[in-house]
């Protein structure tokens, strides 16, 4: 008896349908599957499926059928494909069918990733896991976090999957998924409504033909990502360099005092730490930012133009602003060159390893030296001078703005804009915005956690039980811990968190607190010289958190859910 049945009911021409049927039969023989195929033509039905065959089949394939599906397959695991899908790669279509789970369920593999690889990555993974369980689907999620891939997908799992779901805010390498149906999204849909995202993915995922990398396929539609996603890809690769460099610089001052940077200290332990942190890690993070922005746009051929352009930005004094421009210029120029350069088939291999890196680097480098470098360097110098001279009301205004931005969307584009701005200024030795941003980012989850204790009646049982873990996330500078509360009651929670964060940022800026590391929350504060004016910094965080908690207690209504 056959374990797979198929019906080919759409497409133009009898010959095309017969060819598709033969392609499926050949793929089934090679894979060791039994298959029975019914072909509907204008002249009649070829090899009609018997009811007994359909009854014993484990899965059905509909090729070019109606949206409603064949009623004879009701209650069976069914996949749909177009004639073009079958003719392009019948084995991939058959693989989807062979790996289909029992009726009502599908096998899904997923990747989640966010720019920092900390909170959204794992919240999206949890959202997908819970949604798939509720819908009766089988899912495996690979989290591409700050320490690399967690629970990595195996080749067998990918081969058996019906679809690949990418929920990421930065570029993810799709090279492993040739021949699979792939759907791409950001992390927010997975966090907010995983069920709806899975439904969309099952309906809209597109077949990645053959085994070619998506960037190299001809005739395939490359998913649109946009400048924000490219920038966040660069930031995600940059952050480890900034974190390592900042902590090592702080340790250098801890061991060598304020003279750790003097020439006389060059051969001391403190001098070595400063050499590693400031002259190596901090020198690298600007080119890395440019390089991986370009990589996100143009894949590997864009890496050299973006990174070399970023290094030129560093050498010309254009800093992180110049690196961002270099990344976008290098990436888009390389992608454009890839589209317009036409070579004979035998010379195609020269494009990614020779022509594109050389021409892209030449174009980007000349622009950085002759056009972009000096004006951007002047702009960065002016911005640095203004920030360093900020006192009183001007520092207060910047602190209020940065703080409010951090709490507005809690890990979204506005939050990341404030964070990226502050991290970039570390290379210019401007440390006060970084302190304000981290204080403001810690405040929303800390304030909410405090409110669940002080005003317990305003929160339901689940929210109160989650308060402790939300507080731990806040201590770790993971603003996203506040998202579930904001999603539940946005018009009350978000204004409260924005107000508290704005106050925390303002106090930090007015107190001239300087922070040398871009992440870590309270766990980096005890490190000598990582933060200045530590007492006032703690006051800023506590004040912002208390204000958030009190406001929540005043504006939130008593929870409508009865305990128990």
Between residues 243 and 149, the one the model is more confident about: 243
- Exposure string of 5-40, with b = 16+ CB inside 10 Å and e = fewer, is bbbbbebeeeebbebbbebbbebbeeeebebbbbbb
Tokens standing for residue 527: 């490190």
Give per-residue pLDDT as tens, 401-456. Answer: 999 999 987 866 788 788 888 887 887 788 899 999 999 999 999 999 999 999 98
Tokens standing for residue 75: 């209650």
Q: What is the pLDDT of residue 361?
A: 94
pLDDT bracket for residue 379 (50, 70, 90): confident
- Reduced to 3 states (helix: H, G, I; strand: E, B; else coil), residue 112 is strand
| DSSP string across 84-95 | HHHHH-HHHHHH
**Average pLDDT, stretch 75-82?**
76
Tokens standing for residue 125: 């993974």
Q: What is the pLDDT of residue 368?
A: 92
Token match 């964060």: residue? Answer: 501
pLDDT of 20 above 50: yes
What's the CA angle centered on 216, arms 213 and 218, to 5 degrees?
115
Q: How far apart are CA 361 and CA 160, in angstroms?
A: 41
CB 517 within 8 A of CB 246: yes
Start-end of H helices in 180-281: 187-192, 194-204, 226-256, 269-276
Strand order of the β-sheet with 206-207 is: 148-150, 138-145, 107-113, 163-168, 181-185, 206-207
Q: How far apart are CA 431 and CA 437, in angstroms?
A: 10
Tell me whether residue 539 is exposed, middle or buried, using C-beta atoms within 10 angstroms of its C-beta: 0 to 12, 13 to 18, 19 or more: middle
pLDDT of 299 above 90: no
For the question of residue 114 being annotated catalytic, the response is: yes
pLDDT bracket for residue 43 (50, 70, 90): confident
Q: What is the pLDDT of residue 12?
A: 61
**Average pLDDT, stretch 486-507?**
90
Please provide the size of the chain in residues. Answer: 564
CB 406 within 8 A of CB 419: yes
CB atoms within 10 A of CB 371: 11
Q: What is the pLDDT of residue 366?
A: 94
Rounded to two decimals, the pTM is 0.57
CB atoms within 10 A of CB 227: 14
pLDDT of 8 above 80: yes
Helix axes 432-454, 461-475, angle to 10 degrees: 160
pLDDT bracket for residue 99 (50, 70, 90): low
Residues in Cβ contact with 424 at an 8 Å cutoff, skipping those fewer than 6 apart: 289, 319, 320, 321, 324
What's the distance, CA 382 to chain centroid? 32
Q: How far apart are CA 370 and CA 390, in angstroms?
A: 32
Q: What is the dihedral of CA 61, 62, 67, 72, to 10 degrees?
A: -80
Tokens standing for residue 115: 């720019």
Give which of 327, 235, 248 is closest to 281, Cα–Cα. 248
Q: How far apart are CA 419 and CA 433, in angstroms?
A: 9
Q: What is the pLDDT of residue 147?
A: 53
CB 498 within 8 A of CB 407: yes
pLDDT bracket for residue 116 (50, 70, 90): low
Listed ranges 61-65, 82-86, 523-527, 529-533; the one with the highest mean pLDDT: 529-533
Q: What is the pLDDT of residue 327?
A: 93
pLDDT bracket for residue 144 (50, 70, 90): confident
pLDDT of 137 above 80: yes
Strand order of the β-sheet with 59-63 is: 44-46, 35-41, 4-8, 59-63, 77-81
Give per-residue pLDDT as tens, 312-332. Answer: 988 888 877 888 899 999 999
pLDDT of 363 above 90: yes
- Which is the catalytic residue, given 5, 28, 114, 404? 114
pLDDT of 467 above 80: yes
Q: What is the pLDDT of residue 219?
A: 34
For residue 266, the 8-state DSSP code is: T
């Amino acid at each position: 008896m056959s374990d797979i049945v198929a019906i080919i009911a759409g497409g133009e021409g009898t010959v095309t349908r017969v060819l598709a049927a033969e392609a499926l039969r050949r793929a089934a023989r090679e894979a060791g599957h039994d298959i029975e195929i019914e072909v509907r033509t204008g002249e009649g039905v070829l090899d009609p499926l018997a009811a007994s065959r359909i009854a014993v089949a484990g899965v059905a394939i509909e090729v070019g059928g109606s949206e409603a599906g064949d009623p004879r397959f009701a209650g069976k695991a069914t996949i749909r494909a177009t004639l073009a899908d079958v003719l392009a790669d019948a084995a991939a279509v058959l693989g989807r069918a062979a790996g289909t789970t029992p009726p009502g369920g599908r096998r899904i593999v997923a990747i989640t990733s966010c720019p920092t690889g900390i909170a959204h990555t794992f919240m999206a993974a949890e959202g997908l896991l819970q949604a798939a369980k509720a819908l009766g689907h089988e899912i495996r999620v690979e989290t591409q976090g700050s320490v690399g891939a967690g629970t990595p997908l195996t080749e067998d799992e990918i081969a058996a999957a019906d679809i690949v779901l990418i929920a990421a805010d930065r570029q993810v390498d799709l090279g492993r998924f040739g021949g699979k149906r792939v759907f791409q999204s950001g992390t927010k849909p997975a966090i907010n409504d995983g069920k709806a995202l899975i439904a969309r993915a099952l309906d809209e995922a597109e077949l990645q033909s053959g085994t070619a990398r998506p960037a190299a396929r001809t005739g395939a539609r490359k998913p649109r990502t946009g400048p924000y996603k490219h920038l966040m890809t660069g930031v995600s690769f940059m952050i480890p360099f900034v974190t390592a460099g900042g902590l090592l610089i702080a340790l250098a001052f801890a061991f060598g005092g304020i003279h750790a940077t003097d020439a006389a200290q060059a051969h001391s332990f403190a001098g070595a730490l400063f050499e590693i942190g400031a002259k190596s890690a901090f020198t690298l993070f600007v080119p890395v930012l440019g390089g991986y922005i370009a990589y996100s746009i143009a894949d590997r051929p864009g890496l050299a133009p973006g990174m070399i352009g970023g290094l030129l930005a560093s050498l010309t004094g254009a800093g992180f602003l110049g690196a961002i421009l270099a990344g976008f210029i290098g990436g888009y120029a390389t992608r454009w060159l890839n589209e317009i350069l036409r070579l004979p088939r035998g010379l195609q291999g020269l494009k990614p390893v020779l022509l594109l890196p050389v021409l892209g680097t030449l174009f980007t480098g000349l622009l950085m030296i002759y056009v972009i470098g000096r004006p951007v360097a002047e702009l960065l110098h002016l911005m640095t001078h203004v920030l360093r001279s900020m006192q009183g009301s001007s520092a207060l205004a910047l602190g209020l703005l940065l703080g409010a931005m951090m709490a507005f969307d809690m890990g979204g584009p506005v939050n990341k804009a404030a964070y990226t701005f502050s991290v970039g200024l570390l290379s210019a030795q401007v440390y006060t915005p970084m302190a304000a941003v981290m204080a403001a980012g810690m405040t929303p989850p800390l304030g909410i956690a405090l409110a669940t204790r002080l005003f317990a009646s305003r929160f339901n049982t689940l929210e109160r039980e989650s308060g402790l873990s939300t507080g731990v996330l806040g201590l770790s500078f993971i603003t996203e811990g506040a998202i579930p509360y904001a999603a539940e009651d946005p018009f009350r929670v978000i204004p409260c968190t924005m107000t508290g964060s704005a106050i925390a940022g303002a106090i930090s800026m007015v107190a001239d607190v300087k922070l040398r590391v871009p992440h870590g929350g309270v766990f980096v504060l005890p490190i000598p010289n990582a933060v200045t004016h530590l007492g006032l910094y703690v006051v800023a965080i506590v004040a912002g958190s208390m204000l958030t908690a009190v406001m929540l207690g005043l504006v939130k209504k008593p929870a409508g859910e009865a305990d128990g």
